[in-house]
A and B are shown apart, each in its own frame.
Chain A
Amino acid sequence: MYQYDQYDQSIVDTRVEEFRDQVKRRLSGEMTEDQFKPLRLMNGLYLQLHAYMLRVAVPYGTLSGKQMHMLAHIARKYDRGYGHFTTRQNIQFNWIKLDEAPDILAEIATVEMHAIQTSGNCIRNISSDQYAGAAADEATDPRPWAELLRQWSTFHPEFSYLPRKFKIAVIAAEEDRAAMRLHDIGIQLLKRPDEHGNAVLGAKIYAGGGMGRTPFVAHEIKDFVTADDLTSYLEAALRVYNRYGRRDNIYKARIKILIHEIGAAEYARQVEEEFAHVKTLGLDPPLAELERISAFFAAPAFDTAAPDTLDRSDPDFAVWLDQNVKPHKQPGYAIVNISLKPTVGIPGDASADQIDVMADLGTRYSFDELRVTHAQNIVLPHVRKADLYAVWQALDAAGLATANLDLIGDIIACPGLDYCALANARSIPVAQKIADRFASLDRQRDLGELKLKISGCINACGHHHAGHIGILGVDKKGIENYQLSLGGSGAEDASLGKITGPGFDEDGIVDAVETVTNVYLAQREEGERFLDTYRRVGMEPFKVALYG
């Protein structure tokens, strides 16, 4: 894992001091709320319905046990004993007092964490593949590149007042586990032979993806950028957006709208022209800097004698193994997914005690590493197969062994009207009712991979556009109404869901979800997931079943 040097620590510590001063000036009335708002937002502090919410960055979703323990401590000391892991691999605390926020930042800075740019119209926390460094299908570990970009984007002098927020994801595998093409800029690292036939790492760049009220899948704008050009290229991409992105309408200010309006080819041309100029300015760190960072992400000292066999005699353990444990590139090891989606829970929530349990397991069994996933779960990336049973028992005792990864119960949901000032409808109760309807794990497993995603408003924080089944809560004349969409995907086969027709009330949407799953069960062919069947048969059979 990356470790701060004196420079990183100095910058983060200074930010704590700066934010303390800003809060002091706000509380004394020296600054208006309007002036304070962008400053606190750039530090992840939102004013929600009931309290302030603080979003702490988990860069590219990677955490140490010590950092995870710190999150538990913050939850206990400053919140109501729990935290909420988000779709951008961060964590939010929902019950924060403004005057305590600087103390929280000071505490997390002691474990090399911060809340810098977790909100605001700036470059946000860089997200990545939760299986980085553990998956067999990656060209390289994407996290050193993400760390390089974290540093480049931190307090960027030119790009701190962009038209709108800006999200970047970096992956390095063909399988897209990070919804890369639904980001403002998506980066896929890959190897390409140079003129001498030697494999060179570079970045394929996508731009203009996003959800919100006008969703788009990102377009490829550049087939290959080497590491020593990447900073200049992104500098150029952001400059074109900063200068020409719309500022007249908040709903049309994301880069996806600019690219939609001028076309991906024209945007790419402008970026190329700007890049030719920016490249002359000497802004790119030398390759030695990427190498310095990469050394922190060297593979852990795997036990090469670790047995590759498993005792599956405990049937409950076997169910969990089949659903939540994924293959590791190292023989004798496995990737453990911890579902934060118990049947009646709040998706993504974990109690301080549960966070401590996961931290201890990460330290003891996974080379002191944990990951947060965009599906709001936690990953122990490097667990010996021989330790899986012990890990499962500890998780089970903490209520963390729900075996529903990627099943209909593994719901992504935004906080919704229970917390969020922007929401039109509640998300959490709908998620709970659906999870309850499909509570039988056998039934969930029979339905197979089924990504259900719920947003409580058009901003789409719950990724409903990318759900195999998506639900969008809207306010219809003062009554919560839920629109159903089908066929979205945030994976390498990225697509946007289509609305089935008129919406449903809270109980009606639960019935509607059951109805579409029944259509799938009746129509599916051998080996087809829900999404595959939908893509083959189209919307019509689902419509007929829903609306007659």
Chain B
Amino acid sequence: MTDSPLRFRDDAPHEEPAVTLDAFLGQTNATAVRIEPGDDVRELLPHLGQIALIEVAFPGFRDGRGYSAARILREAGYTGELRAEGDVLVDQLPLMRRCGFDSFAPRAEIDSATLQASLSRYEHVYQGAADGAVPVWKLRHGQPRP
């Protein structure tokens, strides 16, 4: 893993280590939790107010369950840090950003120039998601771009 996660947030990084979902649900004071692909992230929804960091594990880059987990959290109003950890590849980051991830702990180092190019590449998107991007159907029907 790289030394410090790639963060797209202004607040200070959260220091407390993340506990498993089971451990989190079994205690009341943890503020960081780690979600595995098979976990039901909706079990966290009653507790979002106390959580500062949710780390979503990507053991393999082909397993896309974490994308849904991220959106469900953001749709429920979670505003804390949402980190993608593990086999996270540079070409996946734009999609993950759209799903609401705002920090990344990739297992293998990501070249920063490639990352910058990747994140700034698309000017338009077709569908609404967890980011603020305005889908083209809104632009077509009168909504001004932000």
Which residue on chain A has the smallest CB distance to residue B63?
A247
A324-365 interface code vs B (CB 8 A; 1 in, 0 out): 000000000000000000000000000000000000000000
Least distance between B36 CB and chain A CB atoms (Å): 12
In-complex Cβ contact of B140 among A5, A18, A25, A283 (8 A): A5
Q: Give A264-286 interface residues, CB cut-off 8 Å to B.
A: 277, 281-283, 285-286
What chain A residues lie within 8 Å of B136 (beta carbons)?
7-8, 11, 151
What chain A residues lie within 8 Å of B62 (beta carbons)?
38, 121, 161
What chain A residues lie within 8 Å of B75 (beta carbons)?
277, 281
Of B3-11, B13-21, B26-34, B91-99, the stretch lying at the interface with chain A is: B91-99
Q: Give A399-415 interface residues, CB cut-off 8 Å to B.
A: none
Least distance between B81 CB and chain A CB atoms (Å): 19
Q: Give A242-295 interface residues, CB cut-off 8 Å to B.
A: 242-243, 247, 277, 281-283, 285-286, 288-289, 292
B128 touches A281 (CB 8 A): yes
Least distance between B100 CB and chain A CB atoms (Å): 9
* A158→B89 CA distance, assembly (Å): 15
Which residue on chain B has the smallest CB distance to residue A280?
B75
Which residue on chain A has the smallest CB distance to residue B136?
A7
A167 at interface by CB-CB < 8 Å: no
Q: Give chain A's interface residue range (CB within 8 Å of chain B).
A: 35 or more
Q: Give B102-141 interface residues, CB cut-off 8 Å to A.
A: 111, 114, 117-118, 121-130, 135-137, 139-141
B65 touches A25 (CB 8 A): no
A155 touches B123 (CB 8 A): no
A48 at interface by CB-CB < 8 Å: no
A242 touches B128 (CB 8 A): no
B67 at interface by CB-CB < 8 Å: yes
* A160→B111 CA distance, assembly (Å): 22
Known interface pairs A10-B124, A17-B121, A151-B126; A35-B114 also in contact (CB < 8 Å): no
Known interface pairs A7-B139, A7-B140; A158-B68 also in contact (CB < 8 Å): yes
Known interface pairs A158-B67, A161-B63; A7-B98 also in contact (CB < 8 Å): no
What chain B residues lie within 8 Å of A243 (beta carbons)?
65, 68
B95 touches A155 (CB 8 A): yes
B29-70 interface code vs A (CB 8 A; 1 in, 0 out): 000000001000000000000000000000001111101100
* A243→B141 CA distance, assembly (Å): 33
B123 touches A288 (CB 8 A): no
What chain A residues lie within 8 Å of B121 (beta carbons)?
14, 17-18
* A14→B128 CA distance, assembly (Å): 19
* A164→B80 CA distance, assembly (Å): 31
A152 at interface by CB-CB < 8 Å: yes
What chain B residues lie within 8 Å of A39 (beta carbons)?
91
B123 touches A157 (CB 8 A): no
A161 touches B122 (CB 8 A): no
B129 touches A158 (CB 8 A): yes
In-complex Cβ contact of B122 among A14, A159, A288 (8 A): A14
What chain B residues lie within 8 Å of A214 (beta carbons)?
none
In-complex Cβ contact of B127 among A5, A10, A25, A283 (8 A): A283
B71 at interface by CB-CB < 8 Å: yes
In-complex Cβ contact of A161 among B67, B127, B140 (8 A): B67
Least distance between B91 CB and chain A CB atoms (Å): 6
Q: Give A210-244 interface residues, CB cut-off 8 Å to B.
A: 231, 239, 242-243
A21 touches B117 (CB 8 A): yes
A157 touches B126 (CB 8 A): no
B124 touches A288 (CB 8 A): no
What chain A residues lie within 8 Å of B118 (beta carbons)?
18
* A8→B75 CA distance, assembly (Å): 27
A1-42 interface code vs B (CB 8 A; 1 in, 0 out): 000010110110010011001100100001000010011000
* A18→B123 CA distance, assembly (Å): 12
* A309→B91 CA distance, assembly (Å): 59
In-complex Cβ contact of A242 among B68, B92, B123, B126 (8 A): B68
Least distance between B141 CB and chain A CB atoms (Å): 5
B137 touches A157 (CB 8 A): no
In-complex Cβ contact of A289 among B67, B111, B137 (8 A): B137
* A231→B137 CA distance, assembly (Å): 12
What chain B residues lie within 8 Å of A140 (beta carbons)?
none
Which residue on chain A has the smallest CB distance to residue B76?
A277
Least distance between A62 CB and chain B CB atoms (Å): 19
Q: Give A120-173 interface residues, CB cut-off 8 Å to B.
A: 121, 151-152, 154-163
* A21→B108 CA distance, assembly (Å): 19
Which residue on chain B has the smallest CB distance to residue A283?
B128
Known interface pairs A154-B126, A157-B98, A243-B65; A289-B141 also in contact (CB < 8 Å): yes
- 17 pairs across A/B with beta carbons < 8 Å? A7-B139, A7-B140, A21-B117, A35-B61, A121-B64, A151-B126, A152-B126, A156-B127, A157-B98, A157-B130, A158-B64, A160-B95, A161-B62, A242-B65, A247-B37, A277-B75, A285-B135
Residues of B within 8 A of A (CB): 37, 61-65, 67-68, 71, 75, 89, 91-92, 94-96, 98-99, 111, 114, 117-118, 121-130, 135-137, 139-141
Residues of A within 8 A of B (CB): 5, 7-8, 10-11, 14, 17-18, 21-22, 25, 30, 35, 38-39, 121, 151-152, 154-163, 231, 239, 242-243, 247, 277, 281-283, 285-286, 288-289, 292
11 further A-B contacts with Cβ under 8 Å, apart from A161-B63, A242-B67, are A5-B140, A14-B122, A35-B89, A155-B95, A156-B127, A157-B98, A158-B71, A247-B65, A285-B135, A285-B137, A288-B141
The 3 closest A-B pairs by CB, nearest first: A161-B64, A157-B98, A285-B137
